[in-house]
């Protein structure tokens, strides 16, 4: 994965409790975003109206082209 890649968020709802309810609902309904910043074991993902949130790399999957 690299910055700018389109990803699908595959995390389950109970793994996203740290995200506010409004943003979590948007992410669960449309679980796609763009990698904004990449760390060793996590990434910040821009999720449209839900904002930018950090996810573990195992909670993300590259979007099929």
pLDDT digits 0-9 by tens, 23-64: 999 999 999 999 999 999 999 999 989 999 999 999 999 987
In a domain, 36, yes or no: yes
In a domain, 14, yes or no: yes
Name the domain count of the chain.
1
Residue 32 tokens, joined: 């796609």
Cβ–Cβ under 8 Å, residues 33 and 23 = no
Rounded Cα distance, 38 and 41, in Å: 8
What is the predicted pLDDT for the residue at 64?
77
Range of the domain at 49: 6-62
Cβ–Cβ under 8 Å, residues 58 and 11 = no
Phi, then psi, of 25 in degrees rounded to 5: -60, -45
State the pTM of this model.
0.86
């Amino acid at each position: 994965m690299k910055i700018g890649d389109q990803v699908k968020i595959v995390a389950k709802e109970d793994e996203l409790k740290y995200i506010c309810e409004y943003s979590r609902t948007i992410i669960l309904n449309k679980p796609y975003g763009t990698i904004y910043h990449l760390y060793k074991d996590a990434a910040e993902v821009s999720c449209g109206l839900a904002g930018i949130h950090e996810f573990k790399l195992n909670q993300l999957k590259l979007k099929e082209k």
